[in-house]
A = this chain, B = another copy of it.
Amino acid sequence: SSLLNMEVTRLLHITLLITLLLYFCQAYNYETYFYKQKVDHFSFADPDTFNLRYLINDDFWDGNGGPIFFYAGNEGDITLFADNTGFMWDIAPEFNALVIFAEHRYYGVSLPYGNDSFTKLKYTGYLTSEQALADYVELITYLKSAIDGAKNSTVVAFGGSYGGMLAAWFRMKYPHVVQGAIASSAPILQFTDITPCEDFGKLVTADFSKESPECANVIRNSWAAIDSVTRNEAGLAWLTQAWSLCKPLKTPQDITSLKNYLVNVWTNLAMVDYPYPANFLAPLPAYPIKVVCSHLTEANNDPKPLLEEVFQGLTVYFNYTGDSKCLDINQQADSRLDDYGWDFQACTEMVMPFCYNGVEDFFEPAPWDFKSFAQTCYQTWGVYPRPFMAVHMYGGKDISAASNIVFTNGLLDPWSTGGVLWNVSETVVSLIIPEGAHHLDLRGSNPDDPPSVIQARMIEKTHIQNWIDEYSARYDE
């Protein structure tokens, strides 16, 4: 019996190893190309052009009218999304699909003005979702004409998060280019006057308090504990050492940065609370919130022991691999997710109001202060936000005229609070994945997938097939 136990333990270890190998080392196969794009698709005042990167795989494609699976790249290096969108790779063979991942302008290597792209507004100003979608229109139109056998191919857009927003909007704005869209965890309602700003933080908190109310309370109490400990030099030194910080804490600004880091860590954990080890924002174990919360057990501790608990939890996030020498609060997530570009987008078109009250959520209270937000944006980028731009452009909640979109939302995912959670029409549907985190359905299939995501993917495939059948029928006469 103890031998059997050892065997089981060994087997479990081997299984874990294989799982890790599969999900950390999984590499999908694609070729890299560039397509020359206009910097401005909507006007003629600026004649500049640049090269947009895209990845392509035709291993599964039938070469004769088979569909094109098109990932609408979002805020990061496109290889990150190619590596984390296993669903497209999983189903490409059965659909005989051509797989394309297009990089979003101003991310990865698709920088319209190279290293100067973020140096002045004249260069940065063309970073908008409208321009990005127009890039995709031009790219797809070109590819359909340039690739033999692709002329009549159905195009299905895929995207997760902001990429899901793009996929949905792509179908809404350019239905002649994209015949249907899988919009996973796409918070198209996370805008001013649509979704209450406190909903997001409440859901992050719920993900932790569901593990244990104590866990959430540790985090809720941590803010005051940090303030109390870091009131003097000795405390700053203590926390630097206790949390293995790469850079010593010195100024009040450092404390603000530390807290911002924590806000992002707890939020990221809620986003990637996947049922198996994964490496999307960071390498993490299965159900990372459960693992984190296993360390956050005593909310009534004094500040120092409380912060020591918190550090045990943080370690799960920043050092699951054991390779991190220190905690770098400037490294919130995979470096392929480019915060610089997103900061500009959030400061211009993608103004998403968030607020916290510390009661219904475990964050430090922070109202949504648009005025000060706008000032910061102006100081940083020389531009004032247009908080209603996206709603005016894309319609906000009024998407009743759209067709052929599947919105999917995991209820663990805080972004689901800004998602479309109702069926809009027969062809614009919403799939709820109660056990799902951020775009779980777009990830590759996994033995530990909950039934709800397996079911969601089946329904997504049915819709995709319908779009293909509908579009192909045009050319079947």
Contacts and interface: CB of A to CB of B under 8 A. Distances in A.
B42 A124 contact: no
Contact of A43 (B40, B141, B396): B40
A137 B395 contact: no
A176 B396 contact: yes
B348 A44 contact: yes
Given A176-B398, A395-B175, A399-B176, A45 B125 contact: yes
Given A42-B130, A45-B122, A348-B44, A175 B137 contact: no
Nearest to A388: B141
Contact of A174 (B43, B176, B395): B395
Contacts of A46: 45, 125
Interface in A431-465: none
A401 interface: yes
Interface string A392-411: 11111011111110000000
A246 interface: no
Nearest to A171: B401
Contacts of A130: 42-43
Nearest to A403: B401
A91 interface: no
A126 interface: yes
Contacts of A348: 44
A401 B175 contact: yes
Interface in A129-154: 130-131, 134, 137-138, 141
Interface in A163-211: 173-177
Interface residues of A, number: 43
A321 to B, nearest CB: 39
Given A392-B137, A401-B403, A42 B175 contact: no
A47 interface: yes
A45 B121 contact: yes
Given A174-B395, A398-B176, A44 B137 contact: no
Interface in A355-410: 383, 388-389, 392-396, 398-404
Contacts of A44: 121, 124-128, 348, 383
Nearest to A345: B44
Contact of A45 (B126, B173, B389): B126
B383 A47 contact: yes
Interface centre among A174, A348, A401 (most CB of B within 10 A): A401
A473 B394 CA distance: 22
A164 to B, nearest CB: 19
B395 A176 contact: yes
A125 B47 CA distance: 10
Nearest to A427: B401
A38 B92 CA distance: 43
Contacts of A124: 44-45
Contact of A138 (B126, B176, B392, B395): B392
Interface string A339-353: 000000000100000
A199 B40 CA distance: 33
A45 B117 CA distance: 12
Nearest to A389: B41
A142 B106 CA distance: 32
Interface in A232-283: none
Nearest to A383: B44
Contact of A173 (B134, B173, B177, B383): B173
10 contacts: A40-B43, A43-B128, A43-B131, A44-B124, A44-B126, A45-B122, A45-B124, A47-B121, A138-B392, A176-B394
The 7 closest A-B pairs by CB, nearest first: A45-B125, A176-B395, A175-B401, A44-B125, A176-B398, A42-B42, A42-B130
Given A176-B399, A176-B401, 19 more contacts: A40-B45, A41-B42, A42-B42, A42-B128, A43-B43, A43-B125, A43-B128, A43-B130, A43-B131, A44-B126, A44-B127, A45-B46, A45-B122, A45-B125, A45-B126, A141-B392, A174-B395, A175-B400, A176-B395
